[in-house]
Amino acid sequence: MGSKASTLLREEEIEEIKKETGFSHSQITRLYSRFTSLDKGENGTLSREDFQRIPELAINPLGDRIINAFFPEGEDQVNFRGFMRILAHFRPIEDNEKKSVAVSEPLNSRTNKLLFAFRLYDLDRDDKISREELLQVLRMMVGVNISDDQLGSIADRTIQEADTNGDNSISFNEFIKVLEKVDVEQKMSIRFLH
């Protein structure tokens, strides 16, 4: 237990995380407690295996894609600050945040939530969602409940409706346009501890 004490958050770290993510002091300390309980290696970082032990991610068909989002390219560990940056995308937008003019867009803004969702589909990270990528994600989501022909038809129709520049893929701007009437702020929110 002595190693846990040495990894306690300092007050200035909490303040920096508050500014960066918008979480409250109490939310940060509670999420830190959850983070340390997941940290089986007790080294101040989480591995993919640590995330796979989270029941909600284990049963989510896109769980692996969501877990991958926590890890920067080529990394296999994430520290608490990186963990909080990703979780901030799922923080509900408060009424006062909608009205305030921030210097930089908060991580939980509509645009950043959409960018996070877009990256779940953009498997090769080329800033476009191809038919094959769309098919792969659809397959993850529906499993074997729909035939390949039906999935292909859904993918073709989705790209046909979204693709405004005729390149047979969906860019981020096209993705935004398709989802303009969807309440992303609510659908991509997790109620965090108060």
Concatenating the DSSP letter of every residue in the chain gives -HHHHTTPPPHHHHHHHHHHH---HHHHHHHHHHHHHH-TT-SSEE-HHHHHTSHHHHH-TTHHHHHHHTS-TT---EEHHHHHHHHHTTSPPPHHHHHS--SS--TTSHHHHHHHHHHHH-TT-SSEEEHHHHHHHHHHHHTTSS-HHHHHHHHHHHHHHH-SSSSSEEEHHHHHHHTTTS-HHHHT------
Give me the pLDDT at residue 84, please: 95
Rounded CA separation 98/169 (Å): 32
**Burial grade of 180 (CB within 10 A; 0-12, 13-18, 19 or more):** exposed
Whether residue 54 sits in one domain with residue 16: yes
Label residue 95 by pLDDT band (50, 70, 90): low
Q: How many CB atoms lie within 10 A of CB 70?
A: 18
Q: Is the pLDDT of residue 173 over 70?
A: yes
Q: Is the pLDDT of residue 81 over 60?
A: yes
Nearest to 119 by CA among 89, 77, 146, 148: 89
Label residue 151 by pLDDT band (50, 70, 90): very high
Q: Is the pLDDT of residue 5 over 70?
A: no
Nearest to 70 by CA among 35, 29, 20: 35
Give me the pLDDT at residue 194, please: 46
Give me the pLDDT at residue 6, please: 39
Domain count for the chain? 2
Q: Is the pLDDT of residue 103 over 60?
A: no
User: Of 3-17, 39-53, 93-107, 155-169, which gets the smallest average pLDDT?
Assistant: 93-107
Q: Is the pLDDT of residue 100 over 50?
A: no
Give me the pLDDT at residue 155, please: 94
Whether residue 84 sits in one domain with residue 40: yes
User: Of 7-16, 53-62, 89-98, 118-127, which gets the smallest average pLDDT?
Assistant: 89-98
Domain range for 24 is 11-88
Label residue 99 by pLDDT band (50, 70, 90): very low
Mean per-residue pLDDT of the chain: 86
Do residues 141 and 158 touch, judged by C-beta distance below 8 A? Answer: no
Label residue 9 by pLDDT band (50, 70, 90): confident
Whether residue 37 sits in one domain with residue 109: no
Whether residue 78 sits in one domain with residue 21: yes
Whether residue 109 sits in one domain with residue 80: no
Whether residue 174 sits in one domain with residue 113: yes
Whether residue 83 sits in one domain with residue 125: no
Rounded CA separation 60/67 (Å): 11
Whether residue 74 sits in one domain with residue 113: no
* pTM for this predicted structure: 0.79
Nearest to 57 by CA among 25, 95, 90: 90
Going from the C-alpha of 57 to that of each of 33, 51, 67, 98, 106, the distances in angstroms are 18, 7, 8, 29, 25
Whether residue 128 sits in one domain with residue 70: no
Rounded CA separation 176/85 (Å): 22
